[in-house]
Amino acid sequence: MAFFKVQGIVKFFGGLAAVNGVSFEVKEGEICGLIGPNGSGKTTIFNLINGYFPLTKGEIQFQDEKISGLKTHQICQRGVGRTFQVVKPLKRMTVLDNVIASAFLRHHPRSDAIKLAEETIEFCGLTHYKDKIAKSLPIASRKRLEITRALATQPKLILLDETAAGLNPHELEEAIALIKKIRDSGITIIIVEHIMKVIMTISDHIVAINHGMVIAKGSPTEVVSNPEVIKAYFGEDYRA
Amino acid sequence: MKRPSGPFLLLVLLLILPLILRDAYYQHLMILVLMWVAIGSGWNLISGYTGQVLFGAAAFFGFGAYTAALLSSKLGISAWWGLPLGGILSVAIAFPFGWICFRLRGPYFALATLALNEIFRHIATIWESLTDGMIGILVMQTFISKLPYYYVALAIAIFSIVTVDLVMRSRWGYYFVSIREDQDAAESMGIDTLHYKMLSLCISAFLIGIAGALYTNYMGFIDPKVVFSLHEISIMAILVGIVGGVGTIYGPLVGAFIMVAVQEIFRTGGFGILHFIGQSTGWPFMSGIIKYVSEAHVLSFGILVIVVILFLPNGIVGDWSLIRKSLVNSKKPAV
């Protein structure tokens, strides 16, 4: 039985098939990389898993339970957390309050929620910013806040949407270390990423997508040497 | 120890105020202020904290007011029962309304609340067999003295502020503010945004409904034009919230005080100062000015909002640190 399974999902926006028959599976405890050129449908797949958009066709299963058709908050309650590519900090709240608000999901008395929030903030290395207002944070820390907030809901599966985009090399190293740390704590990860350095070093397996369809699946080395993938990224002329 | 003493001193002051201020006119104004504290707190919870702009506070206010009035005129029950019942029935209206209209976001929701306001005004006007339409409903006042009304209003105002304060310290409070800041993020944090928006609206409606029932008991007369009034109630509620400070516990208190004062200053032509100038100087155009000034109090609201938004976008309580700083600086310019 698969931990997480996407089966033939289809999403039409009007006449445009943004996602067209994508299927893949993720095993518990692994990091699955989702790659593809701009506009290939990666974030749409996240929005479908997350329940932000309804599916046109297909089914998504999580721990042998159908989660497609549930509302976003219900999917989160089942244990699927997500971050947004375009970060959505709760701007006028402090970092701590941001995280407390999501820690309340599984920790009821306020003191428990605060404790979990503080632990999660420390885990993600944001202690320094704890009492800052979220909108005052630089972009690297905002991306980190997205992860922190998702982790505070104590997910079993976390969807990371381009958490490394726009970071400098030093911040990139830190982001990679954090993602590994999350995996080591037992959380399964699906990550959308453009930066090959990130995706190659951390993924256990990769799903490559173009025009809303899966073009390759397998280990990182297999996928990047796949001619279909190279064609999708660089065009016909550079075909190996 | 310094923090809780502020509200405590204020409470003591409000408790003894009517004993010092024996003039019935000022007691009347204070009762209005306290009523507006309750309405402002209710508005502030749904709009200030939860970010869902309520443009039709009068819908709940009028519903509470009519509940109390109809209890007395149709069922012969004391209109005071309208206080709890007006609150509860307002919730009964807020519930289906929220369930349908919270699918709308931002300005669309605000417009829907405006529509609710107008719907109830028309129902109250047209359904003459129940409400006597534009004739209105007369309720015998229980007390001649203003003191009992003052303390009831004070109790309701305290109840409103304490309720909002308690709610905002709890998990609900975190959820309400999360929804205000980003509804999509809140939803993906596992917050059932529809559920919590409904909860916020219901608490608001309850507080505003109670205030409406208080109005009936105190004024002894209501008609659709007054209690479902767009600018006397709905817009005034927004102004109380904005001037005092959106999303602050004591904002509605400050806002209510200022707005009732501004309304009264304009309505009476600066507490009769203009009239006095007119009489003592004998300028004929003064009487004309008095007429325009007292009719222009709605215009003054507009000007006040522009000033507040330009200089104190977070309201008086929200920008208090800013105000204090500029006051301190202006006191010692020589340094």
Over residues B247-283, the pLDDT tens digits come to 999 999 999 999 999 888 877 766 667 667 777 776 7
Cβ separation A90–B182 shorter than 8 A: yes
> Is A233 buried (19+), middle (13-18) or exposed (0-12) by CB count in 10 A?
middle
Residue B149 lies in a domain: yes
Alpha carbon separation from B125 to A68, B122, B139, B227, B311 (Å, rounded): 48, 5, 18, 11, 40
- Min Cα–Cα distance to chain A from B178, Å: 6
Q: How far apart are CA B237 and CA B54, in angstroms?
A: 9
How far is the C-alpha of B238 from the C-alpha of A61, rounded, in Å? 46
Residue of B180, B184, B189, B319 to mutate, testing the A interface (most A Cβ within 10 Å of its Cβ): B189
B83, pLDDT greater than 70? yes
Q: Do B193 and A73 lie within an 8 Å CB cutoff?
A: yes
**For chain A, what are the domain ranges?**
4-84+156-238
- Whether B298 shows a pLDDT value over 90: the answer reads no
In tens digits, what is the pLDDT along chain A, a chain of 240 residues?
A: 689 999 999 999 988 999 999 999 999 999 999 999 888 999 999 999 999 999 999 999 999 999 999 999 999 999 999 999 999 999 999 999 999 999 999 998 999 999 999 999 999 999 999 999 999 999 889 999 999 999 999 999 999 999 888 888 899 999 999 999 999 999 999 999 888 888 888 999 999 999 999 999 999 999 988 888 888 888 777 655
Task: Give backbone dihedrals phi and psi of A189, rounded to 5 degrees, phi first.
Answer: -130, 135
Q: How far is B207 from chain A (nearest CA, A)?
A: 25
Torsion angles phi and psi, residue A165, rounded to 5? -70, 135
Question: Taking the model in full, what pTM does it have?
Answer: 0.91
| pLDDT, averaged across chain B | 89
Tell me if A164 sits within 8 A of A175, measured CB to CB: yes
Q: For the domain A4-84+156-238, what is the CATH code?
A: 3.40.50.300
The beta-carbon neighbor of B181 closest among A81, A93, A105 is A93
Cβ–Cβ gap B188/A108 under 8 Å: no
CA distance A123 to A118: 9
A contacts of B189 (beta carbons < 8 Å): 73, 76, 101-102, 105, 149-150, 153
Does any CB of chain B come closer than 8 Å to the CB of residue A97? yes
Give domain status of residue B202, yes or no: yes
Comparing CB atoms, the residue among A52, A76, A97 nearest residue B190 is A76
List chain A residues with CB under 8 Å of B188: 50, 52, 72-73, 76, 81-82, 84, 150
Per the structure, the complete domain to which residue B238 belongs is given by: 29-331
Q: What is the pLDDT of residues A29-73, one digit of tens each?
A: 999 999 998 889 999 999 999 999 999 999 999 999 999 999 999
The DSSP symbol for A53 reads: S
Q: From chain B, which residues contact A within 8 Å (Cβ)?
A: 169-171, 174-175, 177-178, 181-182, 184-193
For position B50, what pLDDT does the model report? Answer: 95
Note whether residue B21 is domain-resident: no
Contacts of B186 in chain A (CB under 8 A): 90, 101
What is the count of structural domains for chain B?
Answer: 1
**Interface touch A89/B185, C-beta < 8 Å:** yes
CATH number at residue B186: 1.10.3470
Q: How far is A84 from A178, CA to CA, in rounded Å?
A: 17
